[in-house]
Amino acid sequence: MKIIKDIAYGPYEDNNLDLYLPDGDSFDLFMYIHGGGLEQRNKDWNPEVFAYLAERGIAATPINYRKYPAAKYPDFVVDSAAAAAWLKENIHRYGNCKRIFIGGSSAGGYLSMMLCFDPRWLGAHGLKNTDFFAYVLDAGQPTKHFKVLKEQGIDTRRVIIDETAPLYHVGETEEFPPMYIIVSDNDIKNRYEQIQLLLSTLKQFGCDEGKIRYELRHSAHCKYVDAFDENNETVFGKMIYDYIKSF
């Protein structure tokens, strides 16, 4: 395994990513967008996940992006799309990348949903959602994100579906890519119900149910992302590995 840190993908200080590369020359790649309420954490969150994947032949790329309080909507969405576009254009320099998967947890799940369902952001780079093989939508908020509500002076408990909400854009793209949708039964209040609405809406728009893997975790919000099993292996890393290898 080889790790390359802090590669710039854009002009801003937070526009950087890491590459966890396996020893082989041919690999799939998982781009990961971290959580933290669009305000906290960074790409160094839980590096065991990325090392686990790279040691098993899957490259991993955690990214940084602009966050509150310095950032405003849609800076973090723009950055996520720019990182994906950079990888699409440049990953061949590091080996034969067969497929790119995009995913994230919590706030990163929201950002992954925006790339998956709102064609504007990847479209700005001449790309479509299906230019990436599949999406891991882990406990993201499919309605208007609570930090975007706060930015606009709106009660953060409100459930609003407007252009800042991934759910608003379901059906705008020509095709649905494969998706791995994860939520917990003890998630953030109203998160489980909103994920069920997303699933129902995908069905309403004729998304092939065979393209959706849905997993209900018996835990609190994203606790499995930090968890280790009885063999001291990363639970989330194994989830991602199993999903990628299922194709």
Give residue 171's region: left, alpha or beta (phi > 0; psi -120 to 50): left
Q: What is the pLDDT of residues 81-126, one digit of tens each?
A: 999 999 999 999 999 999 999 999 999 999 999 999 999 999 999 9
Distance of CA 117 to the CA centre of its chain: 12
Amino acid at site 102: I
CATH ID of 2-245, from 3.40.190.10, 3.30.2320.80, 3.40.50.1820, 3.30.56.10? 3.40.50.1820
3-state helix, strand, coil in the chain (%, to 5): 35, 25, 40
Q: Write down the pLDDT at residue 211.
A: 96
- Residue 203 binned pLDDT confidence (cut-offs 50, 70, 90): very high
Q: Write down the pLDDT at residue 59.
A: 98
Q: Write down the pLDDT at residue 217.
A: 96
Query: Hey, how many other C-beta atoms are within 10 angstroms of the C-beta on 156?
Result: 11
Q: What is the pLDDT of residues 29-55, one digit of tens each?
A: 999 999 999 999 999 988 999 999 999
Q: What is the pLDDT of residues 146-166, one digit of tens each?
A: 999 999 999 999 999 999 999
Query: Hey, how many other C-beta atoms are within 10 angstroms of the C-beta on 214?
Result: 14
Distance of CA 74 to the CA centre of its chain: 16
Q: What is the pLDDT of residues 227-243, one digit of tens each?
A: 999 999 999 999 999 99
- On whether the CB atoms of residues 147 and 39 are closer than 8 A, the answer is yes
- Residue 137 binned pLDDT confidence (cut-offs 50, 70, 90): very high
SS3 call for 25 = coil
The CA-atom distances, in angstroms, between 57 and each of 34, 87, 178, 220 are: 21, 18, 21, 30
Average predicted confidence (pLDDT) for the chain = 97
Cis peptide before 69 (omega within 30 of 0): yes
The encoded tokens of residue 206 equal: 């004729």
- Angle of helix 75-90 versus helix 107-117 axis, rounded to 10: 70
Greatest Cα pair distance in the chain: 50
Q: Write down the pLDDT at residue 174.
A: 83
Nearest to 225 by CA among 65, 41, 14, 23: 41
Show me where the domains of the chain are located.
2-245
